[in-house]
Copies of this chain bind each other. A is one copy, B any other.
């Protein structure tokens, strides 16, 4: 019974409760009480493996958060609010926190976000790289050129590209398989698809993009092309912004030359 399938849920719930600010004792106690409904300190201690004498403190922590009620008898009994109510409480609290953070940060961030002309920045990890790509796409005003290897043209990116296209941004995409090309044509009819400009296959290449001619990003899969592309840590990108930015200058030259010499598949 101590190793049945519910243990997965138990540990997940405990972990999340801890992340949300409860102590481990409080989290374990809460989970135990949730399966028990009500219980005494001894019962809770047996289920949760919290030292019995500490159950009282843990329950007190939960009581202050309004998650547990107490029956003043001997032995004391403890009652836990329903799972739904608990989750609503936490969601409420998180909403509160994020909204506080949002206003505070926006108040601070009002200072000019001057576009750095010189820097070339590095990002690690596929999620973070995707974030930058999405940010670039979201800020595009005129033109997006995006080259990518298989598997790095995810749905969210296609979606963002589609939105940009509807804003009137011209889109050029390269380096994708035929079936994905079909998806693109459905999603973004105005996109211009052209063949990969050079041999991706020999390089551990990830993506190359240029936005409005003055924002560029290039990524590689650091483990080489044989690495599992699904490993999110294996992608590293550099990016830069500004007319005078060196990375921008280089990539713009490459793109311009390649694009002029390439025959669009369209």
Contact = CB atoms under 8 A, between A and B. Distances in A.
Interface of A: 6, 9-10, 12-13, 16-17, 19-21, 31, 34-38, 63-64, 66, 69-73, 77, 79, 81-87, 89-91, 94, 97-98, 100-109, 111-114, 116, 119-125, 127-128, 131-132, 135, 239
Nearest to A32: B108
A102 B91 CA distance: 10
Contact of A6 (B86, B108, B119, B123): B108
A50 to B, nearest CB: 16
A78 to B, nearest CB: 9
A37 B111 contact: yes
B104 A98 contact: no
Contacts of A19: 21, 97
Contact of A116 (B38, B70, B86, B94): B38
Contact of A108 (B20, B34, B120): B34
Contacts of A103: 9
Contact of A101 (B64, B79, B90): B90
Contacts of A31: 105, 108
B97 A83 contact: no
B37 A113 contact: yes
Max chain B C-beta neighbours (<10 A), residue from A6, A31, A102: A102
B85 A135 contact: yes
A37 B66 CA distance: 40
Contacts of A111: 35-37
Contacts of A64: 125
Contact of A98 (B38, B66, B94, B106): B94
A95 to B, nearest CB: 8
B104 A66 contact: no
B109 A79 contact: no
Contacts of A70: 121-122
A69 B135 contact: no
A72 B122 CA distance: 7
B101 A87 contact: yes
Contacts of A9: 103-105, 107-108
B123 A69 contact: yes
